[in-house]
Amino acid sequence: MGPMVRRQKGENISGWLAVDKHEGITAAKVVARVKTVFNAAKAGHGGTLDPLATGVLPIALGWATKTVSFAMNGRKVYEFEVLWGARTDTDDRDGVLVEVSDVRPAKTDILLALENFTGEIEQIPPDYSAVKVNGKRAYELARDKQPLSLAAKPVSVHAFELIEALSADRARFRVQCGKGTYVRALVRDLAQSLGTFGHITGLRRTQCGPFMESGAISLEKLESLGHKAAASECLLPIRTVLDDIPALALTDEEAHRMTLGQAIALWPVVKRSGTSGFEPGITVQALCGKTLIALAEVENGMVRPVRVLNN
């Protein structure tokens, strides 16, 4: 008898989906429920959301899981409410209250302080975050009451706006930011700069890369579609997260070679398509017709597959 072949569980279905996550559920549970609806063999998410948070959670199915990093690198937009005068150990309302202050910032002071929190800034992640410390997640160490000294990391904040000062105690904000930015840490540091404490009481993500709130579907609606979900407009092509990456059109023969992991000559492809500007080291989409064959890298006059997508 030959070696046993492990049968794949689920359908080989690929694409992206934007779920409008409701409050009180983890991103991992959303992935599990989406996977069940599509009976998908493989699924993952492109940018987690805390249970407290609602809004856009991109879900990758099948071969799309190989493009998750591109979704996570995209711009994100959050709207959230802050309660002044109280700090929790998680920097949101799900945590334990640890410090209080009688200071309530004036609107004019808030607007002035926001100027220091835009652009390229250094940010220390919250203790309750997924940052790894000696192989363990920071939140695991924080739960065990182990002392933490997390290193500051550079993050990009494109815009930080005060939407409304609701009262002396509460305010609403909108942030546009890049990969790795913790909104909870922004609030923690903003409050500190204003001589008080603060934490998030509600947060909604309205954009994550190319995925918008307007195109997101609730879990309940998705589950009501059942087996029709795969054929619905909510399942988007893998290329959805690759809009900013240049594309090269391959012949059937070139595409076949690339699926085998072989590099192909750049010049014939460029000459045929009439495009230029493919710098060494650049990532490109390798297409055959409308099918994404691979994510590839230009190197020494060759196009070398980095991630083959046999869909």
How far apart (Å, rounded) are the C-alpha atoms in residues 258 and 288? 11
- Separation CA 218–CA 69 (nearest Å): 23
Tally of CA atoms within 13 A in the half-sphere of 11 that contains its CB: 14
37 three-state secondary structure? helix
Q: 184: helix, coil or strand?
A: helix
CA distances from 285 to 45, 151, 209, 241, 296 (A): 21, 35, 18, 11, 6
Residues in the chain: 311
C-alpha dihedral sign at 19, 20, 24, 27: positive
CB-based contacts of 82, cutoff 8 Å, min separation 6: 170, 171, 172, 173, 187, 190, 191, 198, 199, 200, 201
What value, to the nearest 5°, has the Cα angle with vertex 233 and ends 231 and 234? 100
Q: Which amino acid is at 103?
A: V
Distance from C-alpha of 310 to C-alpha of 34, rounded to nearest angstrom: 22
Tokens 């699926």 belong to 259
Find the catalytic residue in 50, 91, 92, 127.
50
In the block, residue with structure tokens 């070696």: 3
252 catalytic residue (yes or no): no
Q: Which residues are catalytic?
A: 50
